[in-house]
Structure 1
C-alpha cells in the first residue's frame, strides 16, 4: 500500500467521522451567523479569502460580538470580538482555553506546564529592563536602513526614489532581531542574497496567501490528523507551498544550531549574559528539569523568534508608513515632535532612549493607533478544555428571537478571536473605529479605561493577553518606535499611483500586496525623499 493509499484511507475515515459529528446539535446552535455555503470548507472561504478583516467587520455589524460560522466538515465555530467575551477567553485561568493544532503554525504548539516552563525561562530576556536596554540596538539597525536609502536617493536625479519598503524593512528587522536576541549579525542588509533573507522573502504570501478552496480543505483535513502522521506528510508531500515550508525549517534549524554552538562556547567561557540566546542555551544544559529545554524545544523557540521577531514588526511598520502617507498632516506633526525632541538633546542625535520614546505623546499615539487599526495578526485560535459560559458586553439576538447575555459552550468548542474586530469595536472606540485617528489616544478613551483588561499594551488585543500573551510585546513596541523615529526624522514619505491598489492580504499575518499582482508577493511602493535640514 502506497503513502497515497494510506492518506486517502485515513482521509475517508476522518471525513466519515466528521459527517456523523456534524449531524449533532451543539450548545451554540441558537447563535446567529452566515448561511453555510459548503460542507467541505464551510464559511472558511468567505472568512479567509477576501482582504484581511473584511468579513470580520461585516459579520460583526450584522450579527454582533459573537458569530457562529461553519468550519470544514460542518463544524460549528465562534468568531468572537465582544470585549467581555475576549477578556474571558484570553484570561481564563488554568489553561481553560488553550491554543490548538493548526497546519499553518510554524512550530510546535506548547501547552500547559510545558508552556509555563518555556515562559519562565524566556521571560528575563523579554522583560522591561532587557527590552529597554536594547533600544540602541534597534536604532542602529534602523540607521543602517536609513543610510542605505539615503545613498540610493542621492544617486537619483530627482532626489527622491520609489522603494518597495516592506522587503527593505524586513531585512532591517531581521538584523535587529539577530543583534538584539542573539548578539549575532545576520547581515541581511549587507547581503540581500543570504540564506535567511532568501528563505523569508515573500514567505507568507507564497505559502499562505490567496488560499483556494482546495487549499482550505486540505489544511482543515491535515489539521485533524495525528501529529506524527502530519509531520510525515509535511516532510514528504510534494507541492510548492510545502517546499517553501521545508526550506524554511531546514535553514532556520541550520542557523539555530550554528548559533547554539557559538553561544554555548561563550557561555562555557563565562561570557553569556541575559540575552535571549544565552538564556536558551543555559536552559538546554540545565540539570533542573523545571528550567530545561531539550534540543527540539530550543530549536523550535529560536525558529519562532526568527519569524515573529521581524516579520510582524516589518509589516506593522509598512502599514504605519503607508497610513502616514495617506495623512501627510499627521506625518508632518509627528516629524515636528521628533525634531523638537532631538534638537533639545545635548548631543543632537536621533538615538533616543526608551524613556524619551515613552515621553513623546504623538509618537505613542501613532504607535497605538497603527497597532489598533492595522492588526497584523488578525485572528487568535482557542479551544475550550472544559465546559464554560462566555459572558457578553452587549446582548446578541439569537435565532429564536431571544437576547443572549452569555453563551454556554461545551468542552472542545473552538473559537476564533477576531483581533481586528475587537480592535475596531464600537463599544471601545466609539462611532469612528474604522478611521485612522491617533488623536483618540492623546486622552486615553474612557471606554478603554473602563473596559475589562484584555491586552498587555493599550488594552488592545494585538499582543493577546493572559497566559498566552506575546512575551516579546515590549521588545516589539520599542523596536517599532525606534524605526519610526529614524525614518520619519530623515525622510518624507508620499503615496505612489500604485498605492490605490494596495490590499490587506491575509496570509497568517496581514501583508500589503497590489490588487491584480498578488502573485508578485509583498508590495508597498512609496516615494521617499530626504528631509531638508535646517542650516545652522
Structure 2
C-alpha cells in the first residue's frame, strides 16, 4: 500500500512539474528566431555547459538570427539571448527590480551561502549592499594594498625555497592554480575578516579544504544532470549528487570557521575601546549592522550569509583570473618581458595604491585584457520580474519575418547576457577581438577602441545597481600579486605557447592544462636573474 502511495505521489508531482513547465513555456514565447533544439530534454544547455568557449556558439547564432534571439534550454525552456548594446544598457539600468535573479540561481545560492547579498533582490539587496559598501570603498582598498603585497611576497618566499632546494635546476614546475587559490584565501581572510588563514604558509582548514575540493572534483552523471536542471527546477538542488554534497560541505565548513571568527570579533569589539580596524573591516561592519536598529539592521542569518558570500566571492573569481593572467603571459613571452620591464621601475619596493593605479599602464592593460577574454562567470542570466519592453539599437527580424526595434518581454522570461562573447565583439574591440592584445587598452594604440579605453566598457564585473561590490578590491589584489611574481620570475607553459588549455567545471569554470586530473595549471617557473636550461619537472 505504501509503495502504491509513493508511486501515486511521484506521478502527481511529476505531472504538476510538467504542467508548471508547460505553463511557463507557453507564457514565455518571445516571437524571436533562434537555433533549433538538438535535444528534447537538454535543449542547448548541455552543449553550452561543455564548450570550452561558449562564445563561439553565441557568435554563430548572432550572425544567423541577429543580436537578440531565442534558444531552447533544458526541459524546453525558452531563453532570450541579448547581445544588443541598447538592450543590455536597459537591462542593467533596471537590474534591481525589473530583471532579477532566477529562482534556480537563488535556490543554489541559498544552499551554498544563504540569504545574503547574492540572493537578495529589490530593497533587501539595496539595504545589504549599503551596509557593505564602506568595506570595499576606494579608501578601504587603499588601506589594504599593503596586505595584498605582503601575501604576494609570502608566495615569493615560498617559491624561492622551492628553487633553492633544487640548485641543479634553473627551472621548476609549479602548479600555479593551487598557489593562486592560497593567495586569494589569505587576501580575503585578512582584508575581510582580520584573520590570516596562512594558506600560503601551508596551513589548512576545513573551509580551505572544501574550496579546494571543487578544483579536484570531476562532475558527471547525476551531478552534471542535477546541476544543469536545478536552474530550471530548483528543488533538484536538494538531490544528494556529488556536486550538491560538496556545496553543502563547503557551506557547513565555511559556517563553522566563520562562526568562530565572528564570535572572536564580537568579543574583541566588546573588550576594546579602539574600534577603528573592527569598524572598517567587512566583519566589523556586519557586527555594527547587526547591532543597529535602523534601516541597515541585519539579522544573524544575514550576517553569516554575507560572510560566506565575501569568502567565496573573494576566493574563486580572483584566483581564477590570476591563473588566466599567468597563462596568457606564458603564451606571449614578449608581452611578459615588456611588462617586467615596466614593473622593474620599482625593483626593490612596492608602490603605493595611487601609483599602482596610475603608474603602470601595461599592468592595467594586461589585467583588463584578461578580464575581457576570461570573465568569471562567462555569462549572466536574469528573469523578467514584470512585463516590460526591451529597446534595441539594431533592428532584428522576428519569427514572423518582421523588422522590429523593440521586444515585448513577459514576466518570468529568462534572459541571458553572454558576457564572454560580448567582451569579444569585433564591432567593439576590433578585428583582433578574440586575441590577447593588452595594447588595445593603451591610449592611441587603436582608434576603434579609444572609447572603450576611456570608459572600461567591460561586463566582467556586471554593471548598474548590481555591479560587483568587490571590483576595486579584486583589481588591487591582482595587480599586487602579478607585480611581485612577474618582477621575480619568468613563466612558460609546459609544452610551449600552444599548450592546450581545457575547461574545468568548479564553483565557476576554471582553466586546466589538458590531461591534468582536476583544475591544475603547472607552469615552468624560473628566476629572472638566473640563466641555464630546464632539466626536469618538479611538481609542487
TM-score by length of 1: 0.88
Answer yes or no: is the 8 Å Cα contact 1:379–1:420 preserved in 2.
yes
State the Cα distance separating 1:508 from its structure 2 match. 5.0
State the Cα distance separating 1:400 from its structure 2 match. 3.4
What residue is the counterpart of 1:16 in the other structure? Answer: 19
Helix, strand or coil for the counterpart of 2:202?
Answer: coil
Correspondence 1:273 to 2:276? no
Correspondence 1:310 to 2:325? no
Residues 409 and 204 of structure 1: CA distance in aligned 2, closer, same or farther (over 3 Å): farther
What residue is the counterpart of 1:282 in the other structure? Answer: 288
What residue is the counterpart of 1:492 in the other structure? Answer: 490
What residue is the counterpart of 1:363 in the other structure? Answer: 363
Helix, strand or coil for the counterpart of 2:344?
Answer: helix
What residue is the counterpart of 1:40 in the other structure? Answer: 41
Helix, strand or coil for the counterpart of 1:174?
Answer: helix
Q: Segments of 4+ in structure 1 off by > 4 A? A: 1-9, 209-212, 214-217, 223-226, 444-453
Instruction: Give the alignment of 1:132-151 within 5 angstroms.
Output: 132-151=142-161
Helix, strand or coil for the counterpart of 1:329?
Answer: helix
Answer yes or no: is the 8 Å Cα contact 1:19–1:73 preserved in 2.
no
Residues 113 and 150 of structure 1: CA distance in aligned 2, closer, same or farther (over 3 Å): same
What residue is the counterpart of 1:178 in the other structure? Answer: 189
| CA distance in structure 2 between the aligned counterparts of 1:435 and 1:452, rounded to whole angstroms | 17
Residues 20 and 471 of structure 1: CA distance in aligned 2, closer, same or farther (over 3 Å): closer
Residues 112 and 441 of structure 1: CA distance in aligned 2, closer, same or farther (over 3 Å): same
Residues 49 and 381 of structure 1: CA distance in aligned 2, closer, same or farther (over 3 Å): same
| CA distance in structure 2 between the aligned counterparts of 1:211 and 1:463, rounded to whole angstroms | 29
Residues 44 and 161 of structure 1: CA distance in aligned 2, closer, same or farther (over 3 Å): same
Residues 392 and 20 of structure 1: CA distance in aligned 2, closer, same or farther (over 3 Å): closer
TM-score by length of 2: 0.88
What residue is the counterpart of 1:332 in the other structure? Answer: 337
| CA distance in structure 1 between the aligned counterparts of 2:6 and 2:416, rounded to whole angstroms | 32
| CA distance in structure 2 between the aligned counterparts of 1:190 and 1:47, rounded to whole angstroms | 38
| CA distance in structure 2 between the aligned counterparts of 1:21 and 1:365, rounded to whole angstroms | 44
| CA distance in structure 1 between the aligned counterparts of 2:214 and 2:208, rounded to whole angstroms | 10
| CA distance in structure 2 between the aligned counterparts of 1:446 and 1:293, rounded to whole angstroms | 48
What runs of 5+ residues in structure 2 fail to find an aligned partner? Answer: 532-540
Residues 93 and 328 of structure 1: CA distance in aligned 2, closer, same or farther (over 3 Å): closer
Answer yes or no: is the 8 Å Cα contact 2:45–2:228 preserved in 1.
no
Residues 389 and 215 of structure 1: CA distance in aligned 2, closer, same or farther (over 3 Å): farther
| CA distance in structure 1 between the aligned counterparts of 2:491 and 2:178, rounded to whole angstroms | 16
| CA distance in structure 2 between the aligned counterparts of 1:285 and 1:335, rounded to whole angstroms | 48
Deviations 1:394-453 (A, max 9, x none): 333433333333222111111111111111112311222101101100027666665799
State the Cα distance separating 1:81 from its structure 2 match. 2.5
Helix, strand or coil for the counterpart of 2:208?
Answer: helix
Helix, strand or coil for the counterpart of 2:91?
Answer: helix
| CA distance in structure 2 between the aligned counterparts of 1:138 and 1:358, rounded to whole angstroms | 14
Correspondence 1:442 to 2:442? yes
| CA distance in structure 1 between the aligned counterparts of 2:305 and 2:73, rounded to whole angstroms | 28
Identify which of 461, 469, 472 aligns with 2:470.
472
Helix, strand or coil for the counterpart of 1:394?
Answer: strand
State the Cα distance separating 1:142 from its structure 2 match. 0.9
Residues 443 and 112 of structure 1: CA distance in aligned 2, closer, same or farther (over 3 Å): same
Helix, strand or coil for the counterpart of 2:499?
Answer: helix
| CA distance in structure 1 between the aligned counterparts of 2:215 and 2:286, rounded to whole angstroms | 27
Residues 25 and 291 of structure 1: CA distance in aligned 2, closer, same or farther (over 3 Å): closer
What residue is the counterpart of 2:538 in the other structure? Answer: none
Residues 141 and 60 of structure 1: CA distance in aligned 2, closer, same or farther (over 3 Å): farther
Of stretches 163-172 and 58-67 in structure 1, the one that deviates more from structure 2 is 58-67
Residues 241 and 93 of structure 1: CA distance in aligned 2, closer, same or farther (over 3 Å): closer
What residue is the counterpart of 1:426 in the other structure? Answer: 426
What runs of 5+ residues in structure 1 fail to find an aligned partner? Answer: none
What residue is the counterpart of 2:132 in the other structure? Answer: 122
